[in-house]
């Protein structure tokens, strides 16, 4: 039997995976998310009067955008953890989300005076953002990697990167409820860099831990 045929047979065999991979991912994420929430309260908590200002477009965008990425990254990680998975539709959705972010940045540049571009880009908490998003992502990333270890990815590093995107998007959404920097310029730059750090860690860990 060829290797590819063996992989497909294992993926199709219901006895090999008694707990569906999607449910295993959920079981892995929930404890990790709870750990992050337990850290969130004592460390920072929500910004003052969050509920009163949450409908302001910039604030709503910076919270909902990472949640949209999170919703897409979960199925993407599941597809990449299966030898027969098809990740292309989800990659396309992520591409659309990236265009949305680019569009938000362009709009911000149009509505802001040029002398405020650098101020909004740097913000007040860039370093805090770069520390706390990976910190809030750490436990969900561990849980996701443990769950995806039940799969058989063709590319373990890529599957690990998807797990990092999933965890990083959650960390970004959680931090966004506290962050006073609301500009899409700040979000695209510093949230983006922080999530890329988590993805890099996930890719490195996945290349070793998800190998089968």
Closest by CA to 143, choosing from 69, 63, 36, is: 36
pLDDT digits (tens, 9 = 90+) for 104-142: 999 999 999 999 999 999 988 899 999 999 999 999 999
The DSSP letter of residue 188 is I
Closest by CA to 162, choosing from 146, 141, 180, is: 141
Q: What one-character-per-residue DSSP string does 107-136 give?
A: HHHHHS-GGGHHHHHH-S-HHHHHHHHHHH
Closest by CA to 62, choosing from 16, 108, 93, 15, is: 108
Question: Residue 6 pLDDT > 90, yes or no?
Answer: no
The DSSP letter of residue 87 is -
pLDDT digits (tens, 9 = 90+) for 22-57: 999 999 999 999 999 999 999 999 998 888 889 899
pLDDT digits (tens, 9 = 90+) for 140-179: 999 999 999 988 888 999 999 999 999 999 999 999 999 9
pLDDT digits (tens, 9 = 90+) for 193-212: 999 999 999 999 999 988 87
Q: Is the pTM of this model over 0.75?
A: yes
Provide the pLDDT for residue 156.
Answer: 92
């Amino acid at each position: 039997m060829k290797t590819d045929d063996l992989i497909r047979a294992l993926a199709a065999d219901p006895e090999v995976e008694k707990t569906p991979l999607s449910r295993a991912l959920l079981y892995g994420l929930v404890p990790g998310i709870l750990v992050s929430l337990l850290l969130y309260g004592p460390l920072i908590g929500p910004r003052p009067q969050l509920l009163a200002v949450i409908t302001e477009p910039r604030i709503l965008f910076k919270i909902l955008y990472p949640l949209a990425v999170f919703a897409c990254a979960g199925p993407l990680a599941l597809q990449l953890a299966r030898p027969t998975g098809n990740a292309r539709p989800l990659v396309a959705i992520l591409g659309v989300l990236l265009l949305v972010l680019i569009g938000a940045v362009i709009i911000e540049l149009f509505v802001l005076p040029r002398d405020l571009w650098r101020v909004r880009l740097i913000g007040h908490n860039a370093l805090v953002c770069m520390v706390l998003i990976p910190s809030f992502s750490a436990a969900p990333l561990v849980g996701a990697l443990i769950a995806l270890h039940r799969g058989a990815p063709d590319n373990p590093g890529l599957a690990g990167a998807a797990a990092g995107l999933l965890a990083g998007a959650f960390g970004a959404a959680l931090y966004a409820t506290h962050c006073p920097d609301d500009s899409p310029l700040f979000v695209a730059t510093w949230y983006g860099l922080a999530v890329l750090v988590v993805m890099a860690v996930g890719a490195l860990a996945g290349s070793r831990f998800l190998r089968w």
